[in-house]
Structure formats: C-alpha cells, structure tokens
Structure 1
Amino acid sequence: MTDSLTCFKAYDIRGRIPDELNIDIAYRIGRAYADSIKPQSVIVGRDIRLTSDELTAALSNGLLDAGVDVYDIGLCGTEEVYFATFAYQAQGQTMDGGIMVTASHNPKDYNGMKLVREQSRPISGDSGLNAIKALAESRRFSPPACERGRLIHVDISASYTQHLLQYINVSTLKAMKIVVNAGNGAAGHVIDQLEAVLPKSIKFIKIHHEPNGHFPNGIPNPLLPENRHSTMAAIAEHHADIGIAWDGDFDRCFLFDETGRFIEGYYIVGLLAEAFLRQYPGASIVHDPRLTWNTVDIVTGLNGQPIQSKTGHAFIKERMRLEDAVYGGEMSAHHYFRDFAYCDSGMIPWLLVLDLMCRSGKKLSQLVDERMQLFPASGEINRTIAQSSAALKKVEQHYQAHALATDFTDGLSMEFTDWRFNLRCSNTEPLVRLNVESRANQALMLAKTEEILALLDE
C-alpha cells in the first residue's frame, strides 16, 4: 500500500492536522527514519503545540519498534534537540540522530518535524529526507526488531545552559532591563534557566511567557509586524535597554532597540560577524544572497572571508562545514555557529549582542545606526505572482543592460554602482520575494524598490 505524503517539504516535515500529518504518519516516519538512517540512539523533543505529545509518542513508538533507543528531552526548542544530538552521551557515545516535533510559526492546526543525523547534520531533500518519505509512503519497513528499543527520559537543561554561557564573558555584563517575549512558545523555560545564572542586575521583563499551544496572543512569528506591538509596548513601559522575541521553537530570535524599533536581521548578521572576527581574525563568515553589502563590507574590513551561500539551513550548514566558517547568518534571523555543530540558535545571538553592548558601552541603536545609514535596505517584500519564474525573467531583461554583475546563486541578484537587489521565488507558494539595498542612499533604495514592484505588478 502506497500513498502520497504531502507533509514532506524541501527541508522538513510540515502539515495540517490530521489530514496531512497524524499519529499513523508519525509512526511511519519513525520506522522510515530507523530503516534509512540506521541509528542505535535518537534524541526526540517536542514543542508546545496541542498535538505534539501524541505525535511524539507515535514517532517514538516507530523508532522503538525498530529497536532504536529513544532519548526523550521533553518540551524544548529545536536547538535543544540539536544540542542534545551532538553533546549528550550515553555509555560514552553521542547520539546517532535527533527529531524535533514542531511546526514553528505555522498556524496552530499544523505540526511537523525537523530531522538530523549524527552531529546534528541536517536531513533534507537529497540528503535523506526523500528516502525517508519514500519508505513512509510504501510502508515497506524492515521486520520489527527482536528486542524493542528503550525509552529514556533525560534532562539536558544544565549542560545546555552552560554551553550557551560559553559564548560570552558573564563577568563583563552590566545592569540592564531586557524585555523577553516567548510568544507563548517554547522559549520561556530557557530564559528562566539563564536568569538563574546571569547576574541579578539583569532584569527580565517577561511577556507571553507561559507555553500555551492555544496561542492566545497569536502565532509566535515576530516577522509579522502585527506581532511586534506587545514587545514594543513593554520596552516603552519599562524603559528597557533591549527587547527580544522568538518564534514558536525559538530557532530564530528578533531584536528591538531601546526605542522599541525592530532591527532587521540583516544588520544583526553584520554585528555578529564583527564580534566573531575580532575573536577569530581572518575567519570565514557565510551569508545568504538576499542582502549582502553590509555584511561583505564589515567582513572584508576586518580581513575576514565573506562566503555567499544559497538561502536555507541545509545549504548554509553544508557550506559552513566545507569552509570551517565560525559563523553564518541569514537576514531571516537564522544564525549558525561552528561551536554549535554549525546549527542555528535563537539563544546565542541575543547573548552575544548583550555582551557587545556591555563591552562597548553602546546602546543597540548605536551599534546598528551607522550600518543602517551606510546600507539602507527594503526588508523582504512578498508579492503573489502565479508565473513567478516569468516575472524574474522580465525583471532580469529590464535591467541587464545596466547591471555590473548578475548572480543566480539564489533567484536573481543584480548589482549596480549604488544599489542592488535580489528577487527569488518561494519554494512552497506562488510568491516572489524582493530585497533591495543601496549605498548610503535611502531615497534611491526606496525608488528602486517601487520601480521593481511596479514591474512585477504589470
């Protein structure tokens, strides 16, 4: 019996409950993962969604029936599964893989999974996800194991917290007020763990802190402007020094300065690149193609090596391993770290920014204002277009006579003397995504943004 599973995407598993993802499919994914990856021990964790417990139980049963030992770390964020997979040891051996049950910032009637193999190497597309999909669809699994696997509940909170603190110098942190908005997702418990070990002079103002799969304050996705107001209001009310908000599984964090202004992830990439290059002179920094000039300017100015990679966590992680890059960043607020097995973390970035603020004596606004003026950017703009590939071709033809450089690493990137843009198609929707930046010319950036949007609307 074979059926088509639409919950398998390019990089992960996501689907509406129960028609696209349910306990039967979750069990089959567990069996297929075991047959394809052939692990002996796997980390499993889950987010706060209402269906995550039952899906995790079914997934685990699939693994256990295949003879795999399941190490369950409970309610967590995706990066805790990454951490446990590369750091947790049983009988002196690290884990052979990890699975996180989460749908991150998708609507509340969705759920999904993110899969990794040993050392938290990503499983996506041709690197194993397609094979797992085919097995789950066909149900042609190996016979159940003679000896069922063991289900072991483990607590990684202490070792994970200590790992996070390795990225900063706790003794240099100064008194400050921090607004933290978990969005009723999974980040709250990590904030509580860090609060217990950071200096008491750091005051946390917690909003939407309790995990709640009903999402009473909206789906946790701070990329949506309407989801930023509560963080901004709390910063103003408490005269806070910085605000931080996370998506549901907190693999992305979003920063607000002391005025309540939302800081585009692009400028945080440059900020963190600078921090790492001062610690590791000459290191390689990986970035995505959507917005590049600020990052390249900072990295080359500090004699680092800027390396462009196609957008997407699997591509970034692969390129970072290839180049032994110390840090990688995407403007979408995904930040990757060599010492975190090249994985993305939503906790390490804000800790590093706090450390930078305290060491420099500057506010977050002061750390980014100059860079925002030097390279003003549009932020990502989405347009629904049925024939998205044809739209890219039309824009390319319009500008090709005047372009100094054209690049197809990810969609269409074109550079001119004082401005550049990237236009790319969504992998999952009839959308094109536009990013425009200029050299110290806000008016030019805005004008060219409108010009391209007008072309797309024709």
Structure 2
Amino acid sequence: MQETLACFKAYDVRGQVPEQLNEDIVRRIGRAYAEAIRPGNVVVGHDIRLTSESLKQALIDGLREQGVDVTDIGLCGTEEIYFATAHLGVGGGIVVTASHNPKDYNGLKFVREASKPISGDSGLREIQHLAERNVFEATAKRGGYQTADLLGDYVAHLLSYVDITSLKPLRIVCNAGNGGAGRVIDALEPHLPFTFITQNHEADGHFPNGVPNPLLVENRSPTTALLQSSNADFGIAWDGDFDRCFFFDAAGNFIEGYYIVGLLAGAFIEKNGPQRVVHDPRLTWNTIAVVEGAGGEAVQSKTGHAFIKEKMREADAIYGGEMSAHHYFRDFAYCDSGMIPWLLVAELMAQRNQSLAEMIAARAAMFPCSGEINRKVEDPRALMRAVEAYYAQGCTHIAHVDGLSIEFDDWRFNLRSSNTEPVVRLNVETRGDVEKMKQKTEELLRFIDG
C-alpha cells in the first residue's frame, strides 16, 4: 500500500523527527521534487536545527539520484535560498528548516526557477504523490555537487535597499532567538553605522531560550527588557529562519506588523512614485489609506506567501506586506525577507529624524487594531456561518477573499480558520476609536467562545 506522508502541509513540509520526517522520507522528497519540477540544477541549504545537516544530505542524495545538479550554500536562512535561486539563475531551491516549530520538528521549503513559490496548488501535491508512491524514473547519470559561499553577494544585495550615507548611528537591540539571524547581523555590521546590542545571538539548535517565535506574546519580554535597560533606539526579533522580523520601539513596546506594512508601503511610493502594493485581508484600512494617499494602488490578496507572491507578480507590485511580519519585495524576486525591512526602517528614522514610535503613532491612532487573537473551536465552518448571519445586518460590505471580512462605517473585522488545526483567528480595527475596537473585540470573542 502507498504510504501517506503527514509532513506535507499547505505550503511546505513540516513534521516531527524522526516519526513524520527522516532521512528516508527526505531522500524520497528530493527525488520527487526532481521528477515533478525537472529543475536541472538546484540550490540547497539548511537552518540551525540539530537534524538539519543530516536531512540536507539525504535531500542532496535524492536530488542527485534523479540527475539533478546541486549547489550547496550550507547554513542559511530561508531568504538566502530565495536570493541564491534567483541570483544563480538555477531551476529551483530547497531549504531544510522548520522555522518556529518545536525543536524536535524539521521541514522543507521549496521554490522553482526565479524563486517562484511551490505550494499546494502549484506543484506540492504532485511532489507529495510521487514521494508517497516511491517509484521514480531511472536516470542515466547521477547529478553533480558543488558548494558555494554567497553570503557576501547576499549582504551586498541587502545593502542596496538603503542609502548607507544617509544612515545615522543607532543603537539597535537584536534578538536572534538562537536562530540564524545573528550570522547575517555579524556580516552586515562592518558596513553600517549601528551599534548592535545582541541577545540570544549565537545559533543553537537546542534553543536554550525557547523556540524563536516573537509572534507569541510570551516570547517578547526578553527583547522588551533589554530595550528598557540599554538606551537603544529600537529593537528587532526574528523567528528561527529569519524570514520574519518583529519590531519594538525604544520603550520596548511591540509594534504590530500591520503598521510596519503601512510605513514601508508609503516609503516605497514616496521614493519610486505611484506603485502597486499588495496586502492581506486581515487588517486593511490603514494600508489602503496610506497607499492611496501617496498616489499608489492597494491590491488585496489572500493570506499566505504563495498567494501574495503570485498577486505581486500579476500586479507588478513593488512591495507586499502581511500583518504577520512577512514583507515581500519586487527586487528580491517577489520574496519575503526578514532583513530588508529593518534596514528600511532605520533609513526612514534617519531621513525623517523621527523615532519608530513617532513614525507609527499617528497611524495607530487613526486605525487602532486588536492584533490577531486565536481561539480553539470545535467546528470553524459552523462558527463562521453563525458569525456572518449575526453581523450581516447593517454592514456595508461582506467579503470571503480569506475567511470572513465584514465592514461597517466605523469598524471592521476578519475571521479566518487555520489550515492545519481547529482554530479561528480574529482581527478587529476601527476608524480612530480605541474603545470601540476593544468593545467589538470582546463582543466577538464572547460570540466565538459561546
């Protein structure tokens, strides 16, 4: 009987090692990727997890068995694979990483040529089917293997997004969470006028300070505490593979990713003239107001990196942002980066002579938001139907681009269900009314919990 591989998710591969993911499974996935995508040559790399090196070797074996040439860039973050795939002009890229999952997990993220995403509706199901069937085409020749050090090229590309001469000396708290970001900060440091105050800086797959995921409120306090004691200008924290970055102001307050999207969107249009910007449906009003106010066009996309990247290519958008701290850039092969955003924020602070808190304050007051709140529910679909039926009366707009979005004149919300678990995610925002935002959030949570 054909084996079912539970490690295949909506956008990537993730599973517990070795029960759901091991060398044999990864070797088969490598062969399946080669047969489904037919890339010719592939760039591979691995994150800092303890199992990543051995899984990468199994991946390389599988790719080479199917005649694919492999370029191994070694220890890296997810975005370094995006960069390398486009930079080298190869047929695809794969990184061994489980990002912010528990330490006994690992996974794979895939792209094809030009770093175009591979997900459930663009090749991942075919890879899964081939890996599960475990019967592959015979190949005449084993693929080649070489290593490459692209860190210098990658750092040069990151620096191209800012005018280094305009930057001012800043003190920046950096919490790498014992993930991969510290290595890149060290490579950037000689080129920048910043003093980095580092925290959990050394890569350590044991995750002695917990798995790096600053999206969780309980994981933010170390960064906040260091900011409050170090007289720094702002702070950054990353997840394990650093494709997301999270911001803190000088006082240690967490900045919702939603407002960073608006800040960067406005800056790109200001610098480059009228442009399209892609955003997700969870929180929208601030981004739309900023983009349209600057003469640009806001384009909505379903949540998720594959959808955002596809929509950006379709619209030729200069920038795309999700409130979950994913930021996408046209000149970065339409991919997300956790390094480019903080460089741009530092540049804006210098050019505007404002603190991060000052740059965000007016927008946060104009469009206060709840931030994303998760709730476990037994039947997400039934709940969504009940919420829509209850709130449809008197609303000005209902949309189902991603879950359920309902708008009124002065407030709106988005409620969507998780792809992988019985959880719904709620976001609420208002037009300048913090109390109403709190009231409506509590009202919706009572409805969900009840």
Measure, in 2, the Cα distance between the counterparts of 1:405 and 1:8.
Answer: 36
Is 2:125 the counterpart of 1:133?
no
Match of 1:409 in 2: 401
From 147, 150, 153, the equivalent of 2:144 is 150
Which stretch has the larger CA shift, 228-237 or 253-262? 228-237
Of 430-439 and 63-72, more deviation after overlay is shown by 63-72
Q: Which residue of 2 aligns with 1:91?
A: none
Residue in 2 that maps onto 1:226: 218
1:413-439 deviation per Cα after TM superposition (whole angstroms, max 9, x unaligned): 000011000000111010000000000
- The code of the aligned residue for 1:158 comes to G
Determine whether 1:109 maps to 2:104: yes
Match of 2:228 in 1: 236
Q: CA deviation at 1:147?
A: 2.1
**Counterparts of 2:17 and 2:32, CA distance in 1:** 20
Pairing of 1:299-310 with structure 2 (within 5 A):
299-310=291-302
Tell me which of 329, 337, 342 is aligned to 2:334: 342
For residue 173 of structure 1, what is the amino acid of its counterpart?
Answer: L
> CA separation in 1, counterparts of 2:397 and 2:354?
37
Distance in 2 (CA, whole Å) between partners of 1:198 and 1:174 is 9
1:249-264 correspondence runs (5 A): 249-264=241-256
Q: How far apart, CA to CA, are the structure 2 residues paired with 1:232 and 1:292?
A: 27
Q: Distance in 2 between matches of 1:358 and 1:456?
A: 44
**Structure 1 residue 230, shift from structure 2 partner:** 1.2
Whether 1:87 and 2:87 are equivalent positions in the alignment is yes
Letter in 2 for 1:71: T
Tell me the distance in 1 between the aligned counterparts of 2:272 and 2:418.
35
Aligned residue number for residue 313 of structure 2: 321
Provide, for residues 66-110 of structure 1, a one-character-per-residue CA deviation record: whole Å limited to 9, x for no partner.
11111001111000000000002xxxxx11000010000000010
Deviation at 1:205, TM superposition (A): 0.6
* Match of residue 71 from structure 2: 71
Within 5 A, what are the aligned runs for 1:284-299? 284-299=276-291
Distance, in Å, in 1 between the alignment partners of 2:404 and 2:325 is 21
Q: Match of 1:411, as an amino acid? A: G
Distance in 2 of aligned mates of 1:255 and 1:115 = 27
What secondary structure is seen at the aligned counterpart in 1 of 2:208?
coil
Q: Where does residue 174 of structure 2 map in the other structure?
A: 180
How far off its partner does 1:23 sit?
0.4
SS of match in other structure, 1:128: helix
Please list the CA deviations of residues 392-419 of structure 1 after superposition, one character each: whole Å capped at 9, or x if unmatched: 1111111111110000000000000110
Letter in 1 for 2:76: C
- 1:187 maps to amino acid: A
- Equivalent residue, structure 2, for 1:14: 14
Residue of 168, 186, 189 corresponding to 1:192: 186
Alignment pair present for 1:441 and 2:433: yes
State the one-letter code of the partner of 1:191: I
**Residue number in structure 2 paired with 1:430:** 422
C-alpha deviation, 1:224, in angstroms? 0.9
Distance in 1 separating the partners of 2:59 and 2:378: 37
Distance (whole Å) between structure 2 residues aligned to residue 310 and residue 65 of structure 1: 37
Q: Percent identity?
A: 60
State how far apart, in whole Å, the 2-side matches of 1:432 and 1:131 are. Answer: 29
* Residues 99-136 of structure 1: per-residue CA shift (max 9 Å, x gap): 01000000001000000000000000121000000000
TM-score by length of structure 1 reads 0.98
5+ residue gaps, structure 1, are 89-93
Deviation at 1:182, TM superposition (A): 0.5
1:100 is the counterpart of 2:95: yes
Matched to 2:108, the amino acid is M
Is 1:159 aligned to 2:180, yes or no? no
Q: 1:382 and 1:155 mapped to 2: Cα distance?
A: 41
What does residue 370 of structure 1 align with?
362
Deviations 1:240-278 (A, max 9, x none): 001000000000000000110000000000000011001
Give me the whole-angstrom Cα distance separating, in 2, the residues matched to 1:243 and 1:408.
36
Q: Deviations over 1:351-386 (max 9, x none)?
A: 000000000000000000111100000000001001
Q: Residue in 2 aligned with 1:38? A: 38
Secondary structure at the aligned position of 2:132 is classed as helix
The answer to whether 1:396 aligns with 2:391 is no
| Cα distance in 2 between the residues matched to 1:57 and 1:83 | 21
Structure 2 segments unaligned to the other structure (5+ residues)? none
Runs of 4 or more off by more than 2 Å in structure 1? none
Cα separation, 2, equivalents of 1:450 and 1:245? 29
Q: SS state of the match for residue 70, structure 1?
A: strand
Root mean square deviation of aligned Cα: 0.7
Q: TM-score, normalised by structure 2?
A: 0.99
Distance 2:90 2:257 in 1: 32
